[in-house]
Amino acid sequence: MYLKITMKNWKDQGRLYLIMCHMWTFFIICQLLLRVLLLRYQRQCYSC
C-alpha cells in the first residue's frame, strides 16, 4: 500500500517536473525571440 502511494507521488512529481521544464524552455525561447526582434527593430531605426 505504501509503495503504491510513493509511486503515485513520484508520478505526480515527475509530471510537475515536466511542466516546469516545458515552462522554462518556453520562457527561454520567448526571451530569445524578443531579443532578436528588438535587435532587428533597433537596426531598422539606425538605418532611418
List, for residues 1-48, the tens digit of each pLDDT value.
Answer: 566 766 777 778 888 899 999 999 999 999 999 999 999 888 877 666
**Cα dihedral 10, 14, 15, 16 sign:** positive
The verdict on pTM exceeding 0.75 is no
Residue 8 confidence (pLDDT):
76
Domain total in the chain:
1
Residue 35 confidence (pLDDT):
95
Full residue range of the structural domain in which residue 31 is found: 1-48
Strands (E), the chain: none
